[in-house]
Amino acid sequence: MLKRLTLALVAAPFGAALFANPIDVYSPELLAKVSGTAFVNTGNVERILLRGDAALSHHNPVWAAATTNSYLWGTFGAFRTENDWSSRNHFYLFPEARLYPFAMHWLETSYRRRINLRNQVGAGATWAIISAPQTILKFSLMLSGEATDYGAEANLPDGTPQSTARPLMRGTPRLYFRQNLGSENTALISELWYQQALQTQNDYRWHWETGIEWALGKTLSLKALIVYHHESAVPQRVVRDDFAFTFGASAKFASEKNQTKGDTK
């Protein structure tokens, strides 16, 4: 009989978006967070999947900075299926303004997609369409340069090789939404972004995720997350689409005083 055991671990890694969430000026000025999930399947099929995050952010009226570092490790039977890490780092100026600039640096590896290293640096601006303690809706645009080292040649959907230009320039529109559901203890979080290569029409990727987070207290919370990711340029025998559902726990450690704004923006 197939036996299944699913564990939620506070200290273990937890998956996250490829881009760190926009800085939340209603959160504590200094915030550290670790979160994670573990999935173990035993019996006829052996499957282990560990995933997690460690994040640190600081903000004040003049500047803000955030870093999110993730790791994913998994096996299917005797075969390794995941051994991935990513580091997303953001710097913001005047994050309480309606429109504010940011810079980003993103490093990533992906075992299944055969990405030995992806290095991307970009800058852009965020428009805070709605910025209130209960509701946050933000839209951003970014221009970035990317260098990706694959384990094999990456091909576009029409079979042509991906451009080897360094840096490969991309434009990224992004939408982020957070809504408290009834109280500040439960929140719906959703994110959608699209990255388009400027010189090649069919070289693109897009990412969507939606989740619900339940706070169990000041420190602990639970989170269920659905993630879909698509890349048009992949090596042979690599699937272009990834879909995942995760459920896990997190622990956060924050400064006692929350940042407050004089006006709701």
Answer whether residue 67 is part of any domain: yes
Answer whether residue 265 is part of any domain: no
Answer whether residue 264 is part of any domain: no
Is it the case that residue 192 has pLDDT exceeding 90?
Answer: yes
Q: Exposed e or buried b for every residue in 137-159, given b needs 16+ CB within 10 A? A: bbebebebebebebeeebbbeee
pLDDT of residue 257: 55
Domain count, the chain: 1
More confident residue, 165 or 193: 193
Answer whether residue 97 is part of any domain: yes
Answer whether residue 262 is part of any domain: no
Answer whether residue 247 is part of any domain: yes
Q: 81-99, pLDDT tens digit by residue?
A: 888 999 999 999 999 999 9
Answer whether residue 62 is part of any domain: yes
pTM for the model stands at 0.82
pLDDT of residue 264: 39
Is it the case that residue 250 has pLDDT exceeding 70?
Answer: yes
Q: 100-158, pLDDT tens digit by residue?
A: 999 999 999 999 889 999 999 999 999 999 999 899 999 999 999 999 999 999 999 99
CATH number, domain of 186, equals 2.40.160.40
The residue segments making up the domain with residue 113 are 3-254
pLDDT of residue 7: 35
pLDDT of residue 112: 85
pLDDT of residue 13: 32
> In which band, very low, low, confident or very high, does the pLDDT at 5 lie, cut at 50, 70 and 90?
very low
Q: 6-25, pLDDT tens digit by residue?
A: 333 333 333 344 344 567 88
Is it the case that residue 262 has pLDDT exceeding 60?
Answer: no
> In which band, very low, low, confident or very high, does the pLDDT at 195 lie, cut at 50, 70 and 90?
very high
Answer whether residue 161 is part of any domain: yes
